[in-house]
């Protein structure tokens, strides 16, 4: 049997966690997949998955040319029996309940406001989703650039 921890040809898995796995983690997954598709297997999950990807998250990502409409909300338990190289939590609740995954080498915690909690008119809610998307984009694209630099040096 092939030991997945020893297979150097496998792309490392980067798992992005939040509580509901409906907004922030999918936005981060979208940006990292776009930036690292050849270097990593990027996934997202939630400690208490909402069961859907928020329509406004799908909309604001489409505005920047990234389609997350086929993403699904899933529990972090789906990943407990497979090697996860890096875990990134994007909310405090997920950071507090985050287990250690097989093969985990890195863990980062970058909290962002949950745009699903935005109130006001539809346009005001959309503005919050755009702001959070842009914040996540800045952090995750900087992280992706560092990963690409590391892979060139290896």
Q: Catalytic positions, please?
A: 18, 91, 98
Question: Own/partner pairs for 78-84, CB < 8 Å, 24+ apart?
Answer: 78/45, 79/13, 79/15, 79/43, 79/45, 82/4, 82/13, 83/4, 83/5, 83/10, 83/12, 83/13, 84/13, 84/14, 84/15
What are the phi and psi torsion angles at 88 (to 5°)?
-120, 120
């Amino acid at each position: 049997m092939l030991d997945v921890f020893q297979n150097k040809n496998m792309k490392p898995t980067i798992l992005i966690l939040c509580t509901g796995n409906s907004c922030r983690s999918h936005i981060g997954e979208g940006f990292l997949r776009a930036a690292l598709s050849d270097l990593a297997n990027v996934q997202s999950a939630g400690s208490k998955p909402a069961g859907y990807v928020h329509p406004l998250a799908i909309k604001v990502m489409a505005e920047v040319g990234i389609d997350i409409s086929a993403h699904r909300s899933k529990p972090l338990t789906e990943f407990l029996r497979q090697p996860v190289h890096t875990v990134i939590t994007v909310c405090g609740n997920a950071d507090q309940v985050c287990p250690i995954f097989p093969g985990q080498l890195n863990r980062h915690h970058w909290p962002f406001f949950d745009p699903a909690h935005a109130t006001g008119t539809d346009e005001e809610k959309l503005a919050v989703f755009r702001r959070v998307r842009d914040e996540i984009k800045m952090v995750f694209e900087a992280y992706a650039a560092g990963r690409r630099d590391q892979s060139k040096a290896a």
